[in-house]
Structures are given as C-alpha cells and as structure tokens.
Amino acid sequence: MKARWDLILIPSFVLSFMLMAASQIIFLRASFYKDLGLGRQGEDIVFTNYGRFFTDEFYLDVLWLTIQVSFLAMLFTLVFGFPVAYMIARLRSRWAMILLAGIVISTFITIVIKVFGIYIMFSASGIVNQTLMGLGILDRPWTVIGNDAGVVVGLMHFTLGFGVLVLYSVVQTIPRSLEEAAQIHGSSRWRVWARVIVPLSLPGVTVSALMIFNMCMGAFTSAALLGGGRVFTLPVLIQRVVIMEVKYSMGGTLAAVLLISVLLINLLSIYLMTRMRKQRLVIT
C-alpha cells in the first residue's frame, strides 16, 4: 500500500486552525457582551458595542482614517515600488540579485528598528530638520512624527520592500520580447508602457495592491510609533482599548469591524476586477 504522506499535514492543519480560529472566535464572541469595567463582562448577549461604534463619530472617524492612510500608503508603495521592481526585473547583470537580496534583508529587519531610524532622522533635533533649518529652508522643525503623514510614511516603510518583491515577480511575467516587439513596430517608450506594460501588469498589480492595503489596515507597530500616541488607526485603538482601558468587549467589536471592513473592501475589489475582465478591459 502506498504511504499516505499527505496525512502528515493534518496535525499542523488542526493546530493552525485552532490557533487562528479559536482566538478569533473568542474575540468576536466577546464583542457581544457588555463591558462592566476592570475586564469584567456582562452575561447577556447585546449589540450595544456595535451600536456605539456606528453612532459615535469618534469610532467612525478612526475607521475612515485607517482606510485613508492605508490607501495612501498602498498608493505610494505602488508608485515608488513599481519603477524599482521594473528596473530590477529588467537588469541583466548580477546587480539584480544583489539588489533583491538587499530588499529581502531590509524587509526582514523588524519594523521597530526601521521606524526608530525615521524617528531619529525626522525628529525636531534630527539630521533632516537641523540641515534644512541650517540652510534656512525651514524656520521651524517639520516633523512626520505624531501626525497622519507620519503614519503613512511608517506604513510605507513597512510595506515598500515587500511591495517591490511582489511587483518584481509581476514584471517578470512580462517577456522582454513583448516590449521589443512593440518598439520595433513603432511604439515610443511611453507607448510601450501604455499599450503593453501597464495592461499586462494590471492584474498582478491589483493583487499586490490588495495585499499591501491589507497589511496596512492591520499594521500596528509603525502606526503606533510614528503616530506618537496622537494618531489613532484601528489597530492602535484596539491596543489602547484592550490594554489600557481593559475593555475586552469593545476591543472585540473594533477587531470585528476591522476584519469585516477589510473583507468587504477585498470582495468589492475582486468583484470590480471580474467585471472589468468580463468586458475584456483587462486580460485574464
């Protein structure tokens, strides 16, 4: 009899499922009870937490801000990442491997260290502000720490390396000969982009964009550190509600809203993509 090696997968599947699902279920379940303070919860199932979320402007603003900064960070990651990814994918020399290795390594450096780098550089007494003020370009320090722009920068710091890697693999699926074919048959560089590279990379870029957006929506560390305690995105707020205010139920509610809104945005994007594909606006 043939050995059923695939059975080996069962324990790890059960374990991952338990860890993933169990924690989610406990959290989501908690969202239906009332916080009684000091971490205690009521016994009846109620929807007051959700009611509060959708009636209190503060919470809605937090959700909207989270979506905004995530969207901006995603957009800038694509804008800055795609040319880099394209260049590396089209390099013929071994520099391509060196650059990729550099990006992989920097991606695996913990975000805390990377964010502190920004912190030091952009703080009021940091090298950027000191130089700009020394040159008379700024008359008072400009900083990205503790405001929305800072959070976007922090999120980009988190996603850019990853974005370049994903986009690199997207560009690699477009044979160079297609660009040459377009060129020899009359396309300028600009037309090659418009008629070949953009349409052919669009599906891959869309998937990359969703991945980056999802990463941003759930990012805590960079948002918390560069937000400086003054900018609340949903993950930052969840941490605050759970750890500082010990309101597990409200924390669960916020987590549930985050999960569902990310899910809805993704489903909506996929739906739109499918519709465009059906109309042959995008290749399959």
Partner 1 sequence: MSRVKLERVVKHYGNVVALRELDLEIQEGEFLTLLGPSGCGKTTTLRLVAGFIEPTQGTIYLGNDDVTYVPPQKREIGMVFQDYALFPHMTIEDNIGFGLKERRVGREEIRHRVGELLDLIHLPGVQDRYPAELSGGQAQRVAVARAVAYAPRVLLMDEPLGALDLKLREAMQIELRRIQQELKITTVYVTHDQGEAMNMSDRIVVMNLGLIEQTGSAEDIYNNPRTKFVADFIGSINFLPAKIVGDDGEWSVAETVGAKVKVPKSGASSSSGEVAIALRPERLELVVNGGDGMNVVPGTISNKIFNGNLMRVFVDVGAREPVVIELPPADVHGETGDSVSVGWAPQNGQVLME
Residues lying near partner 1 in the complex (CB under 8 A): 175, 177-178, 180-188, 191, 195-196, 199-200, 282-283
Element containing residue 40 per DSSP (H, E):
strand 40-41
By beta-carbon proximity to partner 1, the closer residue of 1 and 184 is: 184
By beta-carbon proximity to partner 1, the closer residue of 52 and 189 is: 189
- Helix%, strand%, coil% for the chain, nearest 5: 75, 0, 25
Q: In whole angstroms, give the CA distance from residue 93 to residue 48.
A: 61
By beta-carbon proximity to partner 1, the closer residue of 200 and 224 is: 200
Q: Shortest Cβ distance from residue 198 to partner 1 (Å)?
A: 10
Q: Shortest Cβ distance from residue 6 to partner 1 (Å)?
A: 33
Q: Shortest Cβ distance from residue 88 to partner 1 (Å)?
A: 20
Residues recorded for the chain? 284
The residues near 54 (Cβ < 8 Å, ≥ 6 apart) are 60
User: Alpha helices, DSSP H only, in 93-139?
Assistant: 95-108, 111-122, 127-134
Contact 283, 178 (CB under 8 A): no
Q: Shortest Cβ distance from residue 276 to partner 1 (Å)?
A: 12
By beta-carbon proximity to partner 1, the closer residue of 2 and 280 is: 280
Q: In whole angstroms, give the CA distance from residue 228 to residue 186.
A: 53
The single-letter DSSP state of residue 5 is G
Q: Shortest Cβ distance from residue 275 to partner 1 (Å)?
A: 17
By beta-carbon proximity to partner 1, the closer residue of 133 and 207 is: 207
